[in-house]
Chain A
Amino acid sequence: MSTDEILSFEEAMEKYDPVLGFEVHVELNTKTKMFSSAPNVFGDEPNTNVNEVDLGMPGVLPVVNKTAVESSIKIGLALNCKIAESCRFARKNYFYPDTPKNFQTSQYDEPIAYDGYLDIELEDGTVFRVEIERAHMEEDAGKLTHMGGATGRIQGADFSLVDYNRAGVPLVEIVTKPIEGAGSRAPELAKAYVAAIREIVKNLGVSDAKMERGNVRCDANVSLRPHGRERFGIRSETKNVNSLRAVEHAVRYEIQRHAAVLDSGNPVVQETRHWHEDTRTTTSGRPKSDADDYRYFPEPDLVPVVASREWVEELRATLPEPPAERRKRLKADWGYSDLEFRDVVNAGVLDEIEETIAAGASASVARKWWMGEIVGRAKAADVDPGQLGVEAATVVELSRMVEAGKINNKMASQVLDGVLAGEGTPEEIVEARGLAVVSDDGPLLEAIDAALAAQPGVADKIRAGKVQAVGAIVGGVMKATRGQADAGRVKELILEKLGVTA
């Protein structure tokens, strides 16, 4: 794979100042495509969500999806953009087998939204303003699968198969202005920016916003310049970085790679880079060339979109609470401390906790599960917590089982592992694995007697009022029962037996 030299991030930061830029593509969740009435559905059989328009058949014409335009305006408004009073579509001409007409219907010099900004909150609470250049409407391409060859990648493939189901799915491309001054926080900012976009479009209800499905895709531009220099360096554009963690890693890697190139005295090549999740590196794609003459011209088959101020205000009135305000509200509702709440936000499980609470868990229980159990597992699996596959209902069911004394926390954690391993519902797993708290006090009392007998000194301490020493006895009992006992009940029984009140 990559044979590129890289510098350590710290050294890169000492020498250079990174400038970032992002092009984020958001797939809208309209019922139909941007320019055709074929369904916009993910995951169906190949070439079934298509009609003559999506296949670029001779004679077809596009007609704009009104809901897609409204969603685009909403995104523009949520990004504090100006909404163009009049804008047009344009054709971007290039040949590629996933592009049925061999041009993409997009917007060129007249985007529907422009000149906006987004305030990004970093992990420590610092707010960083990212300026938005534009948000424009366009259509997605079909999906290519490369067959033959060793890797399933494009290089070395013998042939490719094309599915046009995704062709024509409405996209909004959000383009930032160059982002300067992020310094060593650039990778973190990159991740936070994409997370913020994802949060906004999800909150607006205009996109399913699932990065793993490609609903939100990020192209990250990185360039470096020596500290103190105004002029930007030559940038690379890393394509399709499709998870929040990958965005952070890719920006970090590109900074390190650029620094090494610059250090060696060579110029950075202006090119497309491809991100490889497995090696966490990028490789060289296509250099920018005169083949990138897209010959844009106004789409003659479509007429201008005129967004009257009344229409824009009507749409503005439908906008949901912005994420920053929502966070303020949730923090107050849930009663989390500043630190607890920031941890939740940084772990990216705000939505999940909200869903879990909505499903019936208390705020503290929901936090305990997500922060205590699930985030760690996600980190180990190297995925975003929301992508791990834990349903809110599962968390609620597990916490109810614990509260009912049916299982203890330790068992619940095992059950969660079972759920993630696909063994079934929590109930089924408890049954199958024979996990149940020993609730009959008889065997417990026997085990307690044995534990007390084994540690007479500890028993004396407890009797003398050092109640916290009970832990050692509880531990002994739990060990003897191989974790099957309800630790709370064990403690009660021990204290009862020793005649101590907690």
Chain B
Amino acid sequence: MTEQNSTGISAETLIRLSAAQLAEKLAAGEVTAVQATQAYLDRIAAVDGQVNAFLHVNAEEALAVAAEVDAIRAAGGAEAESLHVLAGVPIAVKDLIVTIGQPTTAGSKILEGWHSPYDATVVERLRAAKMPILGKTNLDEFAMGSSTEHSAYGPTRNPWDLDRIPGGSGGGSAAAVAAFEAPLALGTDTGGSIRQPGAVTGTVGVKPTYGSVSRYGAIAMASSLDQIGPVTRTVLDSALLHQVIGGHDPRDSTSLPEPLADLVAAAKTGNVEGLRIGIIKELHGEGYQAGVENRFNDALELLKEAGAEIVEVSCPNFQYALGAYYLIMPSEASSNLAKFDGVRYGLRVLPEDGPMTIERVMGATRAAGFGDEVKRRIILGTYALSAGYYDAYYGSAQKVRTLVQRDFDAAFEQADVLISPTAPTTAFPLGEKLDDPLAMYLNDVATIPANLAGVPGLSLPGGLADEDGLPVGIQLLAPAREDARLYRVGAVLESLLEAKWGGPLLAQAPALGAESLETQEAK
């Protein structure tokens, strides 16, 4: 791993650069896109057998795009000048987002082997920016879960401790970035699926304002909650990636019409002086691990020292948010997942006995193609929407949504941004909550309110919990359409914390690869 390329940057160093740093070196000609892409592909080959972050790796396509970027740069001129700042910076894509030329499974058997004939809008934008797509990352089936254990293709493991979960549903994207298998990744966040994996893997994850990034081509779980966002190692990298994928898309009716703010500038000009930062009374304390609370309090101290005013706000209706979420999400999901029926694409399973009718083929296909958690949510959603229950369940949940929004409105009167731990605990051991859906759902208690209200949220590493040495996430929340504020504050907090740690938190993560495997076997 100490092999050096022509410019003297080792692959080991290369993969640990942030995307922004890599982009600078690419632009300066210190390293080529092919070298960078190859370094990541090598890293994937070396460690993904342990991490299982990727469901599919597309080396050929990624290297071809990288080579194209290198050729353009080498040729110079206007085309080289107009290359996107992230051109040649590789990226991994959550396998819920459709891509031409690579399979898209949504982590489900029901889509095994399916190739999308169209690209998601965000993928089109990655391609336009000439970012090599390394592959597709693992997830809980149809993004339903908080641990990536509900993937039909085996769980992803947390690079900090391979016996623990990497969070979910986007555990693959978070683990890939944390394990230096990719500098950047795309995730989707319906109730915390970007932020909670970010928290437990020591990475940065952003759920943009609902409508800030087009959902076209992200396989829908809950349409009114889903949002695609960046998964990165630094706040600036998230801003850079958000800037690539965000902005209006006429193919998504819920896409915000206005142009995206300059998020990169916000991340570069971080400042918290005089800023009011609101602690949400209901989102810390009881139910939160002590180590999580400690790191949260550290963050508050640092922000205060940097000139921010810390205020406490109350969002009393957040107590209903989890319940409302677990009615709205399955309701919408039950309808969104109806299309997987064995008629047009994907798996078709024939009933073992009895009449061979299409109804029974659909029933057998869905029985065999969906995992337990997906079935659970479909049945729950079908129940919540069914005649006689709609008002009590779905209708009431939509009202709670109004109450949650009102709580946010009131809170943002008193504070410019809100802050909380991202998740109540650090990464838990694989299998621990697999048989207890309710315990699993509680992981999302702090992230769900933002989805219900559509406001943006960012999770960044807040340090390691004293009791287990595992990463803790700090969540920042801003009013809708004020994503720039998250980057401004996030960048400050990140630099304060890194100054305290003497470098990025991920530098403290245990080594992976052959070496660590030996260590593990020795255990």
Residues on A lying within 8 angstroms of B by beta carbon are 51-52, 55-64, 91, 93, 95, 97, 100-103, 160, 162, 293, 295-297, 300-303
Contacts and interface: CB of A to CB of B under 8 A. Distances in A.
A297 B120 contact: no
A57 B118 contact: yes
B218 A59 contact: yes
Contact of B253 (A56, A64, A103, A296): A64
B385 A93 contact: yes
A162 B344 CA distance: 9
Given A52-B117, A52-B118, A100-B339, A300 B215 contact: no
A102 B339 contact: yes
Contacts of B81: none
A138 to B, nearest CB: 16
Contacts of A55: 344-345
Given A97-B358, A303-B254, A293 B387 contact: yes
B106 interface: yes
A59 B386 CA distance: 25
Contacts of B253: 61-64, 301-303
B332 interface: yes
A60 B220 CA distance: 8
B341 A95 contact: yes
A59 B335 contact: no
Max chain A C-beta neighbours (<10 A), residue from B118, B254, B344: B344
Which 4 pairs between the two chains have the least Cβ-Cβ distance?
Answer: A102-B338, A300-B223, A295-B385, A300-B224
Interface of B: 97-98, 104, 106, 111, 114, 116-118, 120, 215-220, 222-224, 250-254, 331-332, 334-335, 338-341, 343-345, 358-359, 362, 382, 385-387, 390, 394
Nearest to B382: A295
Given A91-B335, A95-B362, A56 B344 contact: yes
A58 B386 CA distance: 24
12 contacts: A57-B118, A58-B339, A59-B219, A59-B220, A91-B335, A93-B335, A95-B338, A95-B362, A297-B390, A300-B224, A301-B223, A303-B253
Nearest to B346: A58
A160 B216 contact: no
A63 B250 contact: yes
A300 B454 CA distance: 13
B385 A297 contact: yes
A300 B98 contact: no
Contacts of A296: 385
Given A58-B111, A300-B223, A93 B338 contact: yes
Contacts of B390: 295, 297
B382 A60 contact: no
B215 A61 contact: yes
Contacts of A297: 331-332, 335, 385, 390, 394
A59 B252 contact: no
Max chain B C-beta neighbours (<10 A), residue from A59, A101, A293, A302: A59
B42 to A, nearest CB: 31
A467 B338 CA distance: 83
Max chain B C-beta neighbours (<10 A), residue from A56, A60, A162, A296: A60
A59 B114 CA distance: 13
Contact of A97 (B335, B343, B382): B343
A303 B111 CA distance: 29
Given A300-B224, A300-B332, A57 B116 contact: yes
Contacts of B97: 59
A95 B359 contact: yes
A115 B196 CA distance: 50
B212 to A, nearest CB: 15
Contacts of B118: 51-52, 57
A163 to B, nearest CB: 12
A160 B358 contact: yes
Contact of B116 (A59, A93, A101): A59
Given A102-B341, A160-B358, 19 more contacts: A55-B345, A57-B117, A58-B98, A58-B116, A59-B97, A59-B216, A59-B217, A59-B218, A61-B253, A63-B250, A97-B343, A102-B338, A103-B335, A295-B335, A295-B386, A295-B390, A297-B385, A301-B253, A301-B254
Contacts of A91: 335
B345 A57 contact: yes
Max chain A C-beta neighbours (<10 A), residue from B114, B215, B220, B339: B339
Nearest to A63: B253
A303 B210 CA distance: 13
Contact of B216 (A56, A61, A300): A61
A46 to B, nearest CB: 13
B152 to A, nearest CB: 15
A63 B216 CA distance: 11
B521 to A, nearest CB: 40
Contacts of A302: 253
Contacts of B335: 91, 93, 103, 295, 297
B332 A59 contact: no
A100 B344 contact: yes
Given A101-B339, A297-B394, A59 B98 contact: yes
A62 B334 CA distance: 18
Nearest to A58: B219
Given A64-B253, A293-B386, A295-B335, A58 B104 contact: yes
Given A93-B338, A162-B343, A300-B223, A61 B117 contact: no
Contacts of A293: 386-387
Nearest to A144: B358
A64 to B, nearest CB: 7
A295 B332 CA distance: 11
A301 to B, nearest CB: 5
A293 B217 CA distance: 29
Contacts of A101: 338-339
Max chain A C-beta neighbours (<10 A), residue from B111, B335, B385, B387: B335
Contacts of A60: 216-217
A436 B362 CA distance: 66
A295 B358 CA distance: 21
Nearest to A93: B335
A55 B344 CA distance: 7
Nearest to A89: B253
Contacts of B116: 52, 57-59
B490 to A, nearest CB: 29
Max chain A C-beta neighbours (<10 A), residue from B104, B120, B343, B385: B343
Contacts of A58: 98, 104, 106, 111, 114, 116, 219, 339-340, 345
A269 to B, nearest CB: 21
Contacts of A162: 343
Contacts of A102: 338-339, 341
Nearest to B120: A59
Nearest to B338: A102
A71 to B, nearest CB: 19
A44 B18 CA distance: 53
Max chain A C-beta neighbours (<10 A), residue from B216, B334, B390: B216
Max chain A C-beta neighbours (<10 A), residue from B222, B224, B345, B358: B358
A305 to B, nearest CB: 11
Nearest to A36: B251
Contacts of A57: 98, 116-118, 344-345
Contacts of A56: 339, 344
A61 B336 CA distance: 11
A91 B332 CA distance: 10
Max chain B C-beta neighbours (<10 A), residue from A58, A63, A100, A101: A58
A304 B523 CA distance: 60
Contacts of B359: 95
A100 B251 CA distance: 18
B516 to A, nearest CB: 37
A283 B165 CA distance: 59
A57 B222 CA distance: 16
Contacts of B343: 97, 162
Contacts of B251: 61, 63
A301 B253 CA distance: 7
Nearest to A162: B343
